[in-house]
Structure 1
């Protein structure tokens, strides 16, 4: 056993997530799929969710080649969808060490015509469902938690919740800023229950939301030009951040926002 001033001899145990029970919402594509694959490849037991049953089957088959992954079709904007995911976690995992709140949506329209039903849809999924699912799985997170190895809540925010975007996606940026604050509030309230709460705020990564830009060569060059490191993020970049927060290396972090954007938000 090390003293408080010593480092573990080997770096590997610091980032070991093998055997951990992990739920990744919105885990069939984009950032969610990247994070889920990172955990599966490193020996975690993973449940992913998505609204699309076809996407769930496809991603379960793909990730199953690398390790332990099951998928649960569910719409987390509904109470029935939330209940289905919680039941699947209990059935397939029996416990929960890490919740990755990744499911989200966006809606873009000029301010004069921005639809309120679109605004409500984005806020319900990006903010309300994050709180509702966290509340629902909290007993599972607490059950195996300790001061040395707390339960982990990792919420995927966005740099659009930190700096304003040129896109007219009013509900998206507002909901991400709100979920950043919600995560800090959860961190404060849950610390005594051995559960941490942190945010990863990604910049540009390939996803359905950004495909319209990144699939166009000229537009992609424009996006990359706005990133000081000169590229969009990769699966290793985002999975590495999540694994850090979920591992022993991240056990003393709570209430933080880890910005993973190649420096783009710092230069706006």
Structure 2
């Protein structure tokens, strides 16, 4: 933490927070056009469980940026729902990504003989890491008519890490 560069902090905030806000802002005309009370338009932000809890690894800018995404989701939802636009967020937990791979000692690799995601999954209350179908399923649900009454929520997609105090 003593040597974390300000430019690194700014880059993370720019991508994770400003990017979410200004992308939503630019898409508002397209979101407003088809929006109806019975079938609102949807914004689905991507946060992280590291914005919901204090992570084991020291990731201050990342964690703060993802917490900001979650709050921005609530703020935008409070204003945009009046225009029949829902805003929600998905907070992924452990998935076999480059970023997690660097944090657990796989050196950025997501597959190969020296990468054992099953071992990482054992630390998760569900006994596994997430997969693309898990993420796609939640995104499809949030984009569906079934989720038209869900507004301003951040949903942890983590196999129980946050709710059951998993140690990943």
Question: Which TM-score applies when normalising by structure 2?
Answer: 0.88
Where does 1:91-106 land on structure 2 (aligned, <5 Å)?
A: none
Q: Are 2:35 and 2:84, in contact at CA under 8 Å, matched by a contact in 1?
A: yes
Q: Distance in 1 between matches of 2:123 and 2:77?
A: 32
Q: State the Cα distance separating 1:238 from its structure 2 match.
A: 0.5
Aligned residue among 11, 14, 19 for 1:121: 11
Q: Are 2:47 and 2:69, in contact at CA under 8 Å, matched by a contact in 1?
A: yes
Q: Which has the larger radius of gyration?
A: 1
Q: Distance in 2 between matches of 1:250 and 1:241?
A: 10
Correspondence for 2:153: 256
Q: Distance in 1 between matches of 2:149 and 2:10?
A: 35
Q: State the Cα distance separating 1:223 from its structure 2 match.
A: 2.4
Contiguous gaps of at least 5 residues in structure 2: none
Which structure ranks higher in relative contact order (CA pairs < 8 Å, sequence separation ≥ 6)? Answer: 2
| CA RMSD across the alignment | 1.4
Q: Are 2:118 and 2:129, in contact at CA under 8 Å, matched by a contact in 1?
A: no
Where does 1:72-151 land on structure 2 (aligned, <5 Å)?
A: 111-151=1-41
Q: Distance in 1 between matches of 2:51 and 2:150?
A: 20
Q: Distance in 1 between matches of 2:154 and 2:85?
A: 16
SS at match of 1:228: coil
Matched residue count = 157
Where does 1:5-20 land on structure 2 (aligned, <5 Å)?
A: none
Q: Deviations over 1:60-107 (max 9, x none)?
A: xxxxxxxxxxxxxxxxxxxxxxxxxxxxxxxxxxxxxxxxxxxxxxxx
Aligned residue among 64, 77, 82 for 1:192: 82
Q: State the Cα distance separating 1:148 from its structure 2 match.
A: 1.1
Q: Are 2:47 and 2:91, in contact at CA under 8 Å, matched by a contact in 1?
A: yes
Q: Deviations over 1:4-24 (max 9, x none)?
A: xxxxxxxxxxxxxxxxxxxxx
List 4+ stretches of structure 1 deviating above 6 A: none
